[in-house]
Amino acid sequence: MKLGFNEATTIGNSTLEQDLVLGEKLGYDYIEIRTMDKLPEYLKTHTVDDLANFFKTSKIKPLAFNTLYPVTFNDAAGEQKIVDDLKYMIEVGNKIDCKVVIGVCNWDQGIKTKTEIKDETVRMYQKLADIAAPHGVKLCIEFCGAPVHTVNTFEQAMEIAEACNRDNVGVTLDCYHFHAMNSKMAALEACDVNKVFIVHLDDAEDLPVGQGSDENRLWPGDGAVDLDGILGTLAKKGYSNAISVELFRPEYYQLPAEECLTIAKQKSEAVVSRHFTLG
């Protein structure tokens, strides 16, 4: 199993330039690049060719762009921006060999029915998938574990991904989000595991359903998320894509980035190695 880290883990204490150096030094297999802040900041003083050259000469590789947002319920200009953002990620991805884009659906759209959400999310992901497919780019639906989020459980995201009927549309399974809205382990056991494109690894404080936020995340293994249940089920089903640690905890941003990524890696390896062979 390959282990990556999402740059959210060091939003408050590092840059893409530093994340690349540290990720390589610490032996991570993959990095997920944040497109809303760290990539544009990096490109103020570097070029996409610099990034491509880094990856050509390094062991660490790009896993995904994070995040295409908000994918759904936009007005015409907003929808065009999503298409343009995707095309930009495809263009950069073609140069650095990054072939996964993670999308997140909308928050706070007022009350929408599950049918309205499914119809809109399928419509948009099919449209984006058809743009991405000729480039070999896959799209993930990342459900988010909060009541106001339009797609907030694993089973809902998986139902939508399957309804898209596109080989290049799947789901990001973030363990915090899975826990936070009480996604069902039975749905994970029953799912088509080939539709799980990426796993985000993290843990969480023991809060009631719907009460937490990303900031309540903890180092993997230190919290209330049933990581053994999730990872054990994924292993049993033959999951073989990457696992990427993703934390958003402000107190971790107080640490030097190297210490933060070192602890994240050690904690991740301890949990993942109970179910997968690392490397």
Residues in contact with Zn ion by the rule CB under 5 A: 174, 200, 246
**Residues 106, 73: contact at Cβ < 8 Å?**
yes
Q: How many CA atoms lie within 13 A of 265 on its CB side?
A: 22
Least distance to Zn ion from the beta carbon of 7, Å? 11
Q: Which is nearer to Zn ion, 118 or 177 (CB)?
A: 177
Q: How far apart are the two ends of the chain, measured CA to CA in Å?
A: 5
Q: Which is nearer to Zn ion, 54 or 175 (CB)?
A: 175
**3-state SS string for 180-245:** HCCCCHHHHHHCCHHHEEEEEECEECCCCCCCCCHHHEECCCCCCCCHHHHHHHHHHCCCCCCEEE
**Residues 106, 143: contact at Cβ < 8 Å?**
no
Q: Which is nearer to Zn ion, 54 or 267 (CB)?
A: 267
Least distance to Zn ion from the beta carbon of 247, Å? 10
* CA atoms of 257 and 18, how far apart (whole Å): 8
Q: Which is nearer to Zn ion, 54 or 62 (CB)?
A: 62
* CA atoms of 61 and 115, how far apart (whole Å): 38
> H-helix or E-strand containing 79?
helix 76-96
Least distance to Zn ion from the beta carbon of 139, Å? 15
Least distance to Zn ion from the beta carbon of 201, Å? 9
Q: Which is nearer to Zn ion, 90 or 180 (CB)?
A: 180
DSSP 8-class letter at 73: S
Least distance to Zn ion from the beta carbon of 198, Å? 8
Q: Which is nearer to Zn ion, 82 or 243 (CB)?
A: 243
Least distance to Zn ion from the beta carbon of 252, Å? 15
